[in-house]
Amino acid sequence: MQGTVSRYLEDLREDGGLKGVDIANIADVSTATVSRWSKGRASPHPHTQLILSDLHYIVGRLCEYYGAKEIRIWLYARHPQLDGERAIDLINDGHSEEVLAILDRLDAGAYL
């Protein structure tokens, strides 16, 4: 899993425009912890692995429509379709399915 975590973090930085501090905030860990994960010196707890996996999947889906800077903004913005919530908060709280429902509507050509 360690190689996967490092790859996911790199993808989140490159594709999602996220910085270490962004990833730390979403995963509710310190930036030093994210750095250790990136260097392979530590592994995330299973719950945190789920958060990172969901975030990676969501960023990958957003790449179909937006560039890295736009994805970062999209994740941090409050969305009317999420009742004013931010995608990063829902992902952190284990409610990625709500974010994915918006992406499904985007795939179907509905307004986002």
For the residues 55-69, what does the mean pLDDT come to? 96
The tokens for 13 are 């930085």
Produce one character per residue of 49-75: b if its CB has 16 or more CB atoms within 10 Å, e if not. bebbebbbbbbebbbeebebeebbebb
The tokens for 109 are 């050509």
Spatial CB neighbours of 9, under 8 Å, sequence gap ≥ 6: 23, 34, 37, 38, 52
DSSP state letter for 81: G
Q: What is the pTM of this model?
A: 0.90
**49 pLDDT tier (thresholds 50, 70, 90):** very high
